[in-house]
Amino acid sequence: MEMDEMIAEMQKRFKPYTEKEGDYKTMPEEGVDRKHILEAMSSIIEIENKAWETGHVSGAVYNGQTEHVEFTNKAYSIASQNNPLHPDVWPSSLKFESEIVSMVRNMLNGDSSVRGSVTSGGTESILLAVKTYRDYAKDKKGIAEPEIILPKSAHAAFDKACHYFDIKAVWTELDENYAADVKDIREHINENTIAIVGSTPCFPYGVIDPIPEISELARKNEVGMHVDACLGGFILPWAKKLGRNIPDFDFSLPGVTSISIDTHKYGYAPKGTSVILYRNSDLIQHQFYVNGSWSGGIYFSPTMAGSRSGGVIAGTWAALLEQGKIGYINATRKILEASDKTRAGIRKIKGIREMGQSPFVIAFTSDEVNIYQVMEGMSRRGWILNGLHRPAGVHLALTLRHTEEGVTDMFLKDLSEVMDEVRANPGEESGMSPVYGMAATFPEEAVKDFMRSIVEWMYT
C-alpha cells in the first residue's frame, strides 16, 4: 500500500467530519445558538457512542451504564467551576481529593503513612512517580545519571517520563508467559538504578508481573519499586476477594514504594483522573512543586498541572461512593466471568494463539495468518480492538460493556468467521493493517518520523 493510500485510510478513520458537518477554522463572528451547538455535537457523538455502547470496543469505556454516567455527569456539573488550585475558594475539592486518596490507599492495603495525589490520568501518575524517584535519588543518594528498570511490557508512559526527565530507560526481557523476567531485572540493577517497575497487569497482554519477587529485589537493593496498577488496580483487590489466584501486589508488600491506579478506568470515574500513591511522606515531598519567591504570590501545586478540573475530581469521589466495595466486587465478578468465557471460546478457534494469561485482557496472535488483517476484519464488523506490536498481536480488554447479554458470543462468532475469511484471502491488506505492517518492518527512527508527521496532521 502506498503512503497516500495510508493517509486516505486515516483520513476516513480520524477525520470523517471535516466535510460533512462544516468546520470552524475561525471563530464565528457572532455566537452560535446553544441549541444548535448541542445538536451538532450530539449528532456526531451519538453515532460514535454506538460502538462502545454495544460492547464493540476494547477497554476505553469501562462502565458506560446510562444511570451511572448520568449520575457522575451530575456530580461533575455540581462542581464544574471548582479549581483545586484555589483551595481557599473550594475547600470542597481538597476534601474530595484527600478522601479519594484515602479510600484508594485503604483498598490497596496502605496504612496512614501512605500519601498520594489525584492526577489527570495514568500517564500523569507515572510521569510524577518517575520524576519523584529521580529527585529522591539525587537528593538522598547523589545519583546524577538515573536509570529505571522497565520490563518490556511496561506502559509507554514510563518511556515518555524517561524522555521528559532525562532518565535512562533500561528495558528488561519478559519470560515465556509474557511476565517480567525477575532474573533479567536482577542483572540490570546497578548503582544508578532509582526504581524498578512492575505492572498489575501490563497493558499489552494483561499479564500480572511477579510483584512479590520484584519488590523483594527492590527492597534488598534499596531502590524504589513502582507498581503500575493503572489498569488493574480496581479489579485485582476484588478478584482476590472473589477467590481468584491473584498474588500480593500492593502496600502489603514491604518493597512496594509507589502505586499508580486509574480511577477513570475500572474505578468508573469520569475520564481525567488517576491516583498516585507513595509509601511515605519522604517520597511524595519530592513530587511537589513549591515556589516561595514568585511575584504572583506563594505558589504550590502537588501535580503537573496548575489549574485542574474540580469537576472530574468531584465526579470521581461520587463514583467511589456510588459503587462502594460491593459495587466493585459485583462488577469485577461479571467482568471475570465474561473474560473466562471469552478465553475458553478463543481456545476453540483454529489458528489463534493466546499471548499470556490474564484475568480480564485477552491477548492473542496467529501463527497461520496476519493478525493485523484479523484486526481489520473485526474492525469491518464494528470491533475496535487494540493492536499489539513487536511481537504482533491484538487484545480485547473486557469491561462492563462486554458483560451485557450476547456480547461475548457475538465477539467469538465474528472472530471465528474473520479467521476463516483471512485464511481464504491471505494477501488482502486493508485499513490499518499495512500501517502496523510497516511499523514492524521499518527501522524505528523512520517509524517515529512517520508517526510525528501523522500526529501533526491529525491536529492540523
Q: Which residues bind ligand PLP (CB under 6 A)?
A: 121-123, 155, 157, 199, 202-203, 228, 230-231, 262, 274
| C-alpha torsion 180→184→189→195, nearest 10 | -10
Query: How many other C-beta atoms are found inside a 10 Å radius of the C-beta of residue 165?
Result: 15
CA 389 to chain centre: 16
Q: Least distance in Å: CB of 155 to ligand PLP?
A: 4
Contact 377, 349 (CB under 8 A): no
Q: Least distance in Å: CB of 127 to ligand PLP?
A: 9
Q: Least distance in Å: CB of 275 to ligand PLP?
A: 11
- Cβ closest to ligand PLP, residue 62 vs residue 90: 62
- Cβ closest to ligand PLP, residue 202 vs residue 236: 202
Q: Least distance in Å: CB of 333 to ligand PLP?
A: 21
Name the region of 382 (left: φ>0; alpha: ψ -120 to 50; beta: rest).
left
Report helix, strand and coil shares of the chain as percent, to nearest 5: 45, 15, 40
- Cβ closest to ligand PLP, residue 118 vs residue 422: 118
Query: Which regions of 173-318 does DSSP assign to beta strands (E)?
Result: 193-199, 224-229, 258-261, 274-278, 289-291, 299-301
Which residues are paired to 195 by β-bridges?
A: 148, 224
H-helix or E-strand containing 9?
Answer: helix 3-14
- Cβ closest to ligand PLP, residue 101 vs residue 230: 230
Q: Least distance in Å: CB of 357 to ligand PLP?
A: 16
Q: Least distance in Å: CB of 249 to ligand PLP?
A: 12
- Cβ closest to ligand PLP, residue 207 vs residue 371: 207
- Cβ closest to ligand PLP, residue 276 vs residue 369: 276
Is 105 exposed, middle or buried (CB count within 10 Å of its CB: 0-12, 13-18, 19+)?
buried
- Cβ closest to ligand PLP, residue 203 vs residue 383: 203
The three-class DSSP label of residue 136 is helix
| C-alpha torsion 436→440→443→448, nearest 10 | 40
- Cβ closest to ligand PLP, residue 199 vs residue 303: 199
In angstroms, the CA 245 to CA 38 distance is 47
Who's near 418: CB < 8 A, 6+ residues apart?
374, 377, 378, 381
- Cβ closest to ligand PLP, residue 157 vs residue 392: 157
Q: Least distance in Å: CB of 125 to ligand PLP?
A: 8
- Cβ closest to ligand PLP, residue 97 vs residue 369: 97
Cell 455535537 sits at which residue? Answer: 41
Q: Least distance in Å: CB of 202 to ligand PLP?
A: 6
- The greatest distance separating any two alpha carbons of the chain, rounded to the nearest whole angstrom, comes to 70
Q: Least distance in Å: CB of 119 to ligand PLP?
A: 9
Q: Name the residue whose CB lies closest to ligand PLP.
A: 122
Amino acid at 53: E
Cell 475469511 sits at which residue? Answer: 421
C-alpha cell at 338: 465474561
Q: Least distance in Å: CB of 266 to ligand PLP?
A: 10
Which residues are paired to 227 by β-bridges?
A: 198, 259
Q: Least distance in Å: CB of 73 to ligand PLP?
A: 19
- Cβ closest to ligand PLP, residue 58 vs residue 403: 58
CA–CA distances in Å: residue 203 to residues 171, 212, 275: 16, 19, 17
Pick from 222, 217, 71: which is nearest to 141 by CA?
222
C-alpha cell at 354: 493466546
Q: Least distance in Å: CB of 140 to ligand PLP?
A: 26
- Cβ closest to ligand PLP, residue 128 vs residue 283: 128
Query: Using alpha carbons only, how large is the chain's radius of gyration in Å?
Result: 23
Instruction: Label the pairing between strands 299-301 and 274-278.
Output: unpaired
